[in-house]
């Protein structure tokens, strides 16, 4: 006999660890689902001029730039779907280091696409955000 045959237990351990690794890799490499924001309403008065109102539970940031331009952005990173966080300079991805300006444009990679702009309807002083 030319070697020590592997036991069934060692084979099953190797198989289960391999499957667990593939599941973890799949979760890490697939983008997260864009949050359902159809029912989000925001008063325009709550959005600071030159700043942002970040709603992490809904995965949405509403920015009001100087001059009154309003942008509604998804907080899902366009690289691999991590949740973005607000910074003084815009938004940042804590997972892979991408950075975005207050308009959602890429400042630093690895992300290549700007943040997703979400459609909204303005009714007087209220923004109704829909995905």
In order of 41, 49, 73, 128, the CA distances from 67 in angstroms are 22, 8, 18, 21
pLDDT computed for residue 109 by the predictor:
82
Q: What is the pTM of this model?
A: 0.65
pLDDT computed for residue 5 by the predictor:
64
Structure tokens at 20: 């667990």
Q: Which fold has domain 40-129?
A: Rieske Iron-sulfur Protein (2.102.10)
Q: Rounded CA gap, 105 and 114, in Å?
A: 4
Q: Rounded CA gap, 73 and 63, in Å?
A: 8
- Write down the domain spans for the chain: 40-129
Q: CB of 52 within 8 A of CB of 84? A: no
* pLDDT values of the chain reduced to their tens digit, one per residue, 131 residues: 455 567 888 888 888 889 888 888 877 777 666 554 357 888 888 888 888 888 888 889 888 887 778 888 988 898 888 899 988 888 999 888 899 998 889 998 888 999 988 888 888 888 888 75
């Amino acid at each position: 006999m030319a070697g020590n045959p592997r036991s069934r237990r060692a084979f099953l351990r190797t198989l289960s660890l391999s499957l667990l690794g593939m599941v973890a890799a799949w979760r890490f490499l697939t983008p997260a689902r864009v949050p359902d924001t159809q029912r989000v309403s925001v008063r325009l008065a709550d959005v600071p001029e030159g700043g942002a109102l970040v709603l992490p539970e809904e995965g949405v940031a509403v920015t009001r730039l100087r001059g009154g331009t309003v942008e509604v952005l998804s907080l899902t990173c366009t690289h691999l779907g991590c949740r973005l966080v607000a910074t003084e300079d815009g938004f940042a991805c804590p997972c892979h280091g991408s950075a975005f300006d207050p308009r959602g444009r890429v400042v630093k990679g690895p992300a290549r696409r700007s943040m997703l702009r979400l459609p909204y309807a303005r009714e007087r002083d209220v923004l109704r955000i829909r995905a």
